[in-house]
Structure 1
């Protein structure tokens, strides 16, 4: 039976779903919880009406890693498809699908067309989600963007899809971080 994802607020339900879906993957739960906490800290950089959506997407961004959700093996797409099937708002599904420059990796692995079924918007919410994810290590530790990029390269290796997408993805990640920093200065 589909989750009832139509009422507010989204963030507590996203947290509960993430904790249930990723219950066997404590490291991913720790990462997701820290990303959500960081997103909450960045919430002043997004319109007030979007803050719940930001934190919900932060909780949900990696649920596609759950074995039972894996259809394509690409966690942003698998997570977004699951959420869509469960009736989550399109905006949350879109953010999960496109988090952290996923479109660049999707293009490298031949899933760009499938990912494009979800809308991509470059805005304050997507920027904050990207920064929250890209400054949180795999165990939930705080990292700089440079540290996180090095960590991912070391963990996945130079021949990984992440590494092959790096020339296109890294400028996007850095630009998002710059925009968030500018918004933080304004608050």
Structure 2
């Protein structure tokens, strides 16, 4: 791993997701969104690195369980990534809900911090092609893409109140920062 966590994360994401150009475009957009709120968290570099790596578990070379947050976190652990980074990836965007639906235990603690919320916000306000959106449109797009009976659709439906609340917290924080300037 290089000294610069963000550079290492970006290189690793590009290496692992180059076969999935749409997923990589989403990850690039999430990283851009994370940069927009990085000054609001305790470790801006970690936030942006987590944004680059949050979906690395989709890589066909990494997927083991088929549950990308856990596959990504386990891969990152093997790469020597910081424990906090692995936990952020394992728990991103309401992964605990999907883990329950899939009967997969999450061994990584969810820190429930502003940094964690900022990562979820970045993911929930980025389209699959890397553009920006709002959380409700993002959730509607996920439901449409997966269809009504898929575990991901069930997950986002169950997690929606929490996801909307997290996004609202970060939006409120962003507005407060704008007003204080």
Fold match, TM over 0.5? yes
> Residues 139 and 156 of structure 2 are in contact (CA less than 8 Å); yes or no, is this contact kept in structure 1?
no
> Residues 63 and 79 of structure 1 are in contact (CA less than 8 Å); yes or no, is this contact kept in structure 2?
yes
In 1, the alpha carbon distance for the partners of 2:3 and 2:149 equals: 42
Shift of 1:122: 0.8
Partner of 2:118: 128
- Match of 1:69, SS? coil
Shift of 1:174: 0.9
Partner of 1:73: 66
User: Structure 2 residue aligned with 1:8, among 3, 6, 22?
Assistant: 3
- Match of 1:67, SS? coil
Does residue 102 of structure 1 match 2:92? no
Does residue 45 of structure 1 match 2:40? yes
Partner of 1:156: 146
CA RMSD of aligned residues (A): 1.1
In 2, the alpha carbon distance for the partners of 1:25 and 1:166 equals: 22
Shift of 1:167: 4.3
> Residues 45 and 180 of structure 1 are in contact (CA less than 8 Å); yes or no, is this contact kept in structure 2?
no
Partner of 2:28: 33
> Residues 44 and 184 of structure 1 are in contact (CA less than 8 Å); yes or no, is this contact kept in structure 2?
no
In 2, the alpha carbon distance for the partners of 1:130 and 1:176 equals: 7
**Which runs of 5 or more structure 2 residues have no equivalent in the other structure?**
none
Shift of 1:163: 2.0
Number of residue pairs matched? Answer: 177
In 2, the alpha carbon distance for the partners of 1:158 and 1:95 equals: 28
> Residues 65 and 75 of structure 1 are in contact (CA less than 8 Å); yes or no, is this contact kept in structure 2?
yes
* Runs of 4+ residues over 4 Å off in structure 1: none
Partner of 1:142: 132
- Under a length normalisation based on structure 2, what TM-score does the superposition of the two structures give? 0.94
**Larger RCO, structure (CA 8 Å, separation 6 or more):** 1
